[in-house]
Amino acid sequence: MMVINELNFLYLSFFLFLFSIFINVTTALHLLLTAEMLWILLYIVSLFVGYIFNSLNILTLTFFLLILSAVEFGIGLVIMLIQHIIFRSINLNSNSFSSIKFFNKWSLKLKLNKLKFF
């Protein structure tokens, strides 16, 4: 009977992490870490269920979930790195962004390049 109560706690914490993704996501890193905790919790729940029901299929599912969480974490890190590189290379400051200032900055460089060719 104690195992069922532990499973209820794990299911409850799983859905709390899932609900946390929809409510309180401020940065991409927070989203990635919350999703990783969700995968780890799902792994633990399926591991407990596999041991309780003595099912080899569910135990193999746990290793699949573990591999899937590692792949998701790796892809998330790569996407965050690419996003950081793109934003750093564009070099936009959102606090002092002015579309006219931004347009004039690039239009002056384009006019200088046109003058060099003619």
- Looking at residue 1, its pLDDT comes to 44
How many structural domains comprise the chain? 1
Between CA 44 and CA 86, with CA 77 as vertex, the angle to 5 degrees is: 160
- pLDDT tens sequence across 62-114: 888 788 888 888 888 888 888 877 776 665 555 555 555 555 555 555 555 55
113, two tokens: 């390049």
CATH at 38: 1.10.287
Residues in the chain: 118
7, two tokens: 């499973």
Average pLDDT of the segment spanning 25-52: 79
What is the average pLDDT value for the chain, to the nearest integer? 72
Structural domain boundaries, residue 89: 2-117
**Is the confidence at residue 28, as pLDDT, over 50?**
yes
